[in-house]
Structure 1
Amino acid sequence: MTGYRVSDVMTRRVVYLPAETTLDEAATVMREADIGDVVVTDGANLAGMLTDRDIVVRAVAERANPSSTTIGSITTREVVMIEQHATAGEAAALMRERGIRRVLVCDSDRKLVGIVSLGDLAMQLDPQSALSEISEQSPTV
């Protein structure tokens, strides 16, 4: 695992949505882009990160109205970042330590350049693992 850098395994395409976006709009964007997370913005500022799990646990399970509830009201505001030149092992250790599945990736100027997930690590580092095989599959609709 130490031979790979975060930049080797991360997803470079980051999708940004404003905090005013409704849950149903965000879910549609995630489905169409085949992603499980978006970066939430407040104007030009990073407001947090929203995952498909956040939508389920913080909104659907609480019976929030998806057409009127905004992603800003349920987003995770405390984001965890790692520098793109860190090792994949350091990223995995950070995820384990924080109990998270995704980490934002930044350059040396702290500019966002990607996202690394447990699935990204699994697909690159252990392609035969069950997590890797599951992460590779397209969701069934």
Structure 2
Amino acid sequence: MSREPIVVAPGTTLGETAQLMRDLDVGMIPVCDGNTLLGMITDRDIAIRGVASQLDPASGVEEVMTKNVLYCFEDDPIEKAAKLMEDAQVRRLVVLTRDKSLIGILSLGDLATRTEERATVAEAVKAISEPAFH
């Protein structure tokens, strides 16, 4: 997992967040109050919920962030994290301590490059990549 991810506060503007995403070359940033995870802001949230709704770029990310965030705990088995990603068809998973403090983000790339569980990774990639509607 990527440890100590860059985060934004709920009042950070959409414009500042979009610039940060551009500069970091990322599409998702956790929204936190200290170490407490409040939600996630994605480039899609900014485009679909912000720009398409004609929100001012000075609006805070809390207006468009995703509040229900999928997560795993730092001591969960990798298979459990992969299964969560498969079931939700997501490529990234927030990693929390047992007291629910944010400590990292686990990506599909992390699974692919940092684990020997090739079957687990292959199954996760297949399930995540399948269209939701058949």
TM-score when normalising by structure 2? 0.71
20-29 vs 55-64, greater mean Cα deviation:
55-64
Aligned-pair Cα RMSD in Å:
2.5
* Aligned positions, number: 118
* 1:21 aligns with one of 12, 18, 24: 12
Partner secondary structure for residue 53 of structure 1: helix
1:105 to 86, 95, 107: 95
Distance 2:100 2:69 in 1: 13
Shifted more, 26-35 versus 116-125: the winner is 116-125
Deviation at 1:45, TM superposition (A): 4.0
Q: Secondary structure at the match of 1:56?
A: helix
Aligned to 1:57: 48
| Runs of 5+ consecutive residues of structure 2 not aligned to the other structure | 126-134
**SS of residue paired to 2:4:** coil
Give matches, 1:87-106, under 5 Å.
87-106=77-96
Q: TM-score, normalised by structure 1?
A: 0.68
Tell me which of the two structures has the higher relative contact order, counting C-alpha pairs closer than 8 angstroms and 6 or more residues apart: 1
Distance 1:121 1:69 in 2: 35
Tell me the distance in 1 between the aligned counterparts of 2:101 and 2:33. 16
- Which deviations, in whole Å up to 9, do the C-alpha atoms of 1:69-95 show, x marking residues without a partner? 221101111122211232333222102
Q: Match for residue 128 of structure 2?
A: none
